[in-house]
Structures are given as structure tokens and as C-alpha cells.
Homo-oligomer: A and B are copies of this chain.
Amino acid sequence: MAKIHEVAEAAGVSISTVSYALSGKRTISAETRRRIEQAVRELDYRPNAGARMLAGRRTNIFALTEPFRADTYAPAHMAFVLATSIAARRYDYDVLLLTEEQASAGMRRVARSGLADAVLVLDVAPDDERVELARHLDIPSVFVGVPNDHDGLVCVDLDFEAAAGLAVDRLADAGHRTIGLLGHPAAAYHRSNFPPRVRAGFERRARERGLADTVELPEFGGARRVAVRAALGVLLDRGVTGIVLHCDEEAHVAALDELAARGLRVPDDVSVVSVGSTFDTSSMQPPLDVLPLVPQASCDLAVDLAMQLLSDAVPPPGVRLVAPVYHDHGSVAPPGRR
């Protein structure tokens, strides 16, 4: 592996000139820069990571804490990890994966050994042990997700509440007066930070628009299909004509199957809107309107904020909500043909 000293020699300049040329922190004449860049290319030079960390007090590494649990829904989490990694690369940062069940241990270890410049916190629980730790860590952190107690933290997330509100609006605008939310199982409301926000947004907007609303949280203990069937039954019995779906892909499919089995067509008999999905609802049978959760949107912003936290223009703590976007796939229509 070539070293900066060899580059300097090849370019006929001093070591420090090479360093400045590469970092751009001091002006270097065009000609000198050209020679240095050529030497770098010829020698296939890349600064040694350890030396850079030690001298520069920059590791160019983000720690990513993602405490994989048994019940973790893999596809969504993988999408977030991937999106974070891609976002980090834009700034020439790499991602160190912390997966230990004792999430705090990893964060503390990495911070104390100066292995990372900042911590990105994924899969945030409403009452997350990492919140308290983040406050006392000596490197900055960004939460992708909003814990209950987020005082002094920098958080990024989709505005789930607004998303649910827009879903309700769409149904109300189409003329529905009785709507229902088919949500994640009740347990998810303690484990994850966003289901409660969807529910709150749903209920608030329903109230504001004067709609009758019902919330059903199927228990997936046994067969998923059975639970979804039961929940859907409750909603339909109450005369629901518009349904907001906030659950995983399997439950979506099960719900659509069940509607079909009951002879109900979407959107002719029932209107459906999906909220906060990370999977593709546009190729379902039928395609569903959706206000998706886009990992890239949150992760790009999270990485941007992390970079700012490392600069001297430190942004203030607070929650940054990403505005939801409505994608129309034709699953909402006026009620009443039933």
C-alpha cells in the first residue's frame, strides 16, 4: 500500500502539500494539484485509515445501531440499513454495524474507543435504552425514529401522523363517513415508535372530519390470516367503507384476500389506503393507494444531520419530520355501491 510519502516524492512536493491538496484545506496551485492527483492515481494511493483517525480526529465511520430482535421485520430493516450505508458513502463515510442485543454496550464501546464519529440509531423503541446513553455519549447521534422522550435529541422520521391524516382526508373527501384502521398487532405499539403515531393521526383527523372510526389490531399469535379475517370482520360489521392499512406486507395480502373472499371489490365496495409501508403496494391485487415510508428519505436526512453535527454549524436538537407523499393507484372511490 502506497503511503503519502511516496506520493509526495512522485509529485516532487512535500508531504504536507499532498495532504492539503487532497483535503482542500489550503490553496494549492493548479499545476501542483495536477501532479499530485496524477501520482495518487498512478500509485493507487488511499490514506491509511488508522493514521487519519489518529491525526485528523476524524474516523469517517458512522456506527449504526440496529438491535436485531427475533421479531424484527427483516425487509424493512434491511432497507434502512442499506439506505443509511448508501447515504453515508456520499460523504465518503463507512458504516460500522452494531447489532448486539445489549445495544448500549456497542454504542459505548465505539464511542469510547473513538471508532466512529457519530452514531445513527435505527429501530427506535418508544422507550429506548439508547436515548439516555446518547445524551451522555461524547460523540453525536441521530435517531431515525422518534422515542417518547426525545429531549435534546436529533430525530428524523416520516411524519406518520400526517400520513395517517392524509389517508383519512382522502377517504373523507371521497365521501366515506365510516372508516377503520387495520393496524399492527398491539404488541408492536410498545416495541416500535411509529404505530402509536399512525393511530393518533388517524383518530384525530377522523374526529376533525366528523367520521365514525374504528381501530382494529389483529393478534398474530396463531395463523395470520385468521386474525386478519376477524379484524376485518369487526370493521365491516360496523359499516366501514374505507379502510386504512398500517401493517406488514403479509397482513396486507391477507386483508385483500379476505375482501375478495367476501366478494367485496376494491374500490367499488371498499376503499383502501396503505400508510407507512416499505413494500410495493402498487403491484398488489388490486394496487393500493399508499403513503409510503421511504427509507432513503429518512436516512439521507439523518446522514446529512450527522454530518452537520460534526461540522461547526451544529444544528439544534429536535424532531425533523419528513412530509408524507400520497401515491394514487386507484384504490379509493366514493362509497355506496354496496
Top 6 nearest A-B pairs (CB, nearest first) are A50-B53, A50-B54, A74-B75, A74-B74, A46-B112, A49-B115
Q: How far is it, in angstroms, between the C-alpha of A113 and the C-alpha of B113 when the chains are bound?
A: 19
How far, in angstroms, from A81 to B81 measured CA to CA in the complex?
11
Asked whether A85 is an interface residue with its Cβ less than 8 Å from the other chain, the reply is: yes
Chain B min CB distance to A108 (Å): 9
Q: A138: which B residues are within 8 A, CB to CB?
A: 1
- With an 8 A cutoff between CB atoms, is A14 at the interface? no
Binding site for B on A (CB under 8 A): 1, 44-54, 59, 61, 64, 68, 72, 74-75, 77-78, 81-82, 85-86, 89, 94-100, 109-110, 112-115, 138, 223, 285
Assembled-state Cα–Cα distance A89/B51 (Å): 24
Determine the main DSSP class of A at the interface with B.
mixed
Q: Which residue of B lies closest to A55 (CB)?
A: B50
Cα(A61)–Cα(B63), bound, Å: 13
B contact residues around A48 at 8 Å (CB): 53-54, 113-114
Copies of this chain in the oligomer: 2
Contact A100 B89 (CB under 8 A): yes
A53-B49, A74-B78 known; A64+B114 contact, CB < 8 A: no
- Cβ-neighbour of A49 out of B64, B75, B89, B114 (below 8 A): B114
**Which partner residue on chain B sits nearest A89 by CB separation?**
B100
Residue numbers in B under 8 Å from A45 (CB-CB) = 112
A68-B82, A82-B68 known; A94+B94 contact, CB < 8 A: no
Min CB distance A22 to B, Å, is 13
Contact B94 A95 (CB under 8 A): no
List the B side residues contacting A110 at CB < 8 Å. Answer: 94
Q: Are B112 and A97 in touch, CB under 8 angstroms?
A: no
Residue of B nearest to A138 (CB): B1
Cα distance A114–B44 when bound, in Å? Answer: 13
Q: How far is the CA of A86 from the CA of B54 in the complex (A)?
A: 27
Is the CB–CB distance between B113 and A46 below 8 Å? yes
B115 A94 Cβ-Cβ under 8 A: yes
Beta-carbon contact of B99 and A97 below 8 Å: no
Kindly list chain B residues whose C-beta atoms are within 8 Å of the C-beta of A59.
Answer: 49-50
Query: Complex: how many Å from CA A161 to CA B51?
Result: 46
Name the distance in Å between A258's Cβ and chain B's nearest Cβ: 15
- Contact yes or no, A96 B94, CB < 8 A: yes
A77: chain B residues within 8 A (beta carbon)? 74, 78
A97–B115 contact, CB under 8 A? Answer: no
Q: Which residues of B contact A53 (CB under 8 A)?
A: 48-51, 53-54
User: Nearest residue in B to A79 (C-beta to C-beta)?
Assistant: B74
Query: Which residues of chain B are within 8 angstroms of A1 by Cβ–Cβ distance?
Result: 112, 114, 138
A85 to B74, CA, bound (A): 16
Give the residues in chain B near A78, CB-CB below 8 Å: 68, 72, 74, 77-78
Closest partner residue, chain B, to A47 (CB atom) = B113
Selected from B44, B50, B51, B109, the residue in CB contact (under 8 A) with A46 is: B109
A61 nearest CB neighbor, chain B only: B96
Closest to A2 in B: B112
Residue of A68, A100, A113 with most chain B CB atoms under a 10 A cut-off: A113
